[in-house]
Amino acid sequence: MIIKKLSLHNFRQFQGDHVIEFSTDESQNITLILGDNTSGKTTLLQSFLWCFYGTANFKSKDSLLNSFVAQQTLLNNETADIKVVIELEHLGIDYTIERSLTHYVKGSELKANAISKVEMHYKKTNGGTDKIPSHQIQNKI
- pTM as predicted: 0.92
Name the band, by pLDDT with cuts 50, 70 and 90, for residue 61: low
pLDDT of residue 48: 96
Name the band, by pLDDT with cuts 50, 70 and 90, for residue 57: confident
Q: How does DSSP classify residue 22?
A: P
Name the band, by pLDDT with cuts 50, 70 and 90, for residue 38: confident
C-alpha 24/C-alpha 107 separation (Å) is 47
